[in-house]
């Protein structure tokens, strides 16, 4: 099982130096990947993310220039927020300039107030997500891209640079609903939910596998993003699989591996930023 770290591009640790230090520490410690999340604006009534939320792709571009090995992932980009041709260009450029390190996690979104502020029809988000994935793949893989869709149609154009990875960077589809799982199976190279317990993801992994066509069964990635906190004093409920003492966290990580998780992304919780770095070191050296 591969292990990634979610970078502090939002919340109380969000800042240039903290993002940089966490990314460099993750690569130096041998983690497999680093991840960023996505919000463009946050409604006042739902501001649980702190004072600042950096742009995910700009953040990965910043990190790509000072790292060389670690994978660069989005967990997840909300596709309906963005013009798919512009997004395809940004991600393709990032993959080319980072020497093929991008994992594109995508989702249809959920925060209604954000859709309203951006002028995007919330009720159409699923259909838009499907179409935008098709467009991105067409631009990435075709020498003469063309597409006829509900929202976008084009032909007679050139699209460069192509991504470094062939046929294209892996696309992991987020969400836990049946529709999201079907989207992941149809369009994706992996499935990427958030916050499930080992028992919860065990059942969902079996559901995903039952729907996968034969040609996807070998390389399809089951991933998960989950909060982690080392705390030897406080008692956490059984649902908080990766919060508590090192022994509990070790057992939790093993339970996720046994449940079928191929790539586990950890969002580190701590009272201070130095605690985040200590947790990353402790997890790598004492558990992973």
Residue 46 has pLDDT above 90, yes or no: no
Confidence of residue 5 (pLDDT cuts 50, 70, 90): very high
Q: What is each CA distance from 132 to 77, 138, 212, in whole angstroms?
A: 12, 10, 21
Taking the whole predicted model, whether its pTM rises above 0.95 is answered as yes
Q: What is the pLDDT of residues 22-43, one digit of tens each?
A: 999 999 999 999 999 999 999 8
Q: What is the pLDDT of residues 156-195, one digit of tens each?
A: 999 999 999 999 999 999 999 999 999 999 999 999 999 9
Beta strands in the chain (DSSP E): 2-6, 33-36, 71-74, 77-78, 102-107, 147-148, 153-154, 171-174, 190-192, 221-230, 243-244, 263-268
Q: Give the domain range for residue 188.
A: 2-287
The mean pLDDT value of the chain amounts to 97
Q: What is the pLDDT of residue 48?
A: 82
Q: How far apart are CA 117 and CA 121, in angstroms?
A: 10
Sign of CA dihedral 236, 238, 239, 244: positive
Q: What is the CATH number of the domain that holds 80?
A: 3.20.20.30
How many domains does the chain contain in total? 1
Residue 49 has pLDDT above 90, yes or no: no
Q: What is the pLDDT of residues 253-280, one digit of tens each?
A: 999 999 999 999 999 999 899 999 999 9
């Amino acid at each position: 099982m591969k292990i990634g770290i979610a970078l502090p591009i939002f919340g109380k640790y969000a800042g240039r130096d903290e993002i940089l230090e966490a990314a460099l520490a993750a690569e130096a410690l041998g983690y497999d990947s680093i991840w960023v999340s996505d919000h463009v604006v946050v409604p006042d009534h739902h501001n649980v993310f702190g004072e600042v939320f950096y742009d995910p792709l700009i953040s990965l571009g910043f990190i790509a220039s000072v790292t060389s090995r670690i994978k660069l992932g989005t967990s997840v980009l909300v596709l309906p927020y963005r013009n798919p041709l512009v997004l395809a260009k940004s991600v393709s450029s990032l993959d080319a300039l980072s020497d093929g390190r991008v994992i594109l996690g995508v989702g249809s979104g959920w925060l209604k107030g954000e859709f309203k502020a951006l002028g995007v029809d919330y009720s159409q988000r699923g259909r838009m997500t499907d179409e935008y994935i098709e467009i991105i793949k067409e631009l990435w893989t075709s020498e003469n891209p063309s597409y006829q869709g509900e929202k976008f149609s084009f032909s007679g154009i050139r699209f460069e640079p192509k991504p470094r990875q062939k046929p294209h960077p892996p696309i992991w589809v987020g969400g836990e609903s049946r529709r999201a799982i079907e989207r992941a199976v149809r369009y994706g190279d992996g499935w990427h939910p958030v916050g499930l317990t080992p028992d919860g993801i065990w059942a969902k992994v079996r559901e995903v596998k039952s729907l996968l066509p034969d040609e996807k069964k070998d390389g399809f990635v089951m991933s998960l993003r989950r909060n982690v906190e080392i705390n030897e004093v406080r008692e956490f409920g059984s649902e908080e699989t990766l919060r508590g003492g090192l022994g509990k966290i070790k057992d939790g990580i093993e339970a996720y591996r046994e449940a079928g998780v191929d790539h586990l992304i950890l969002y580190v919780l701590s009272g201070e930023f130095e605690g985040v770095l200590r947790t990353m070191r402790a997890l790598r050296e004492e558990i992973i």
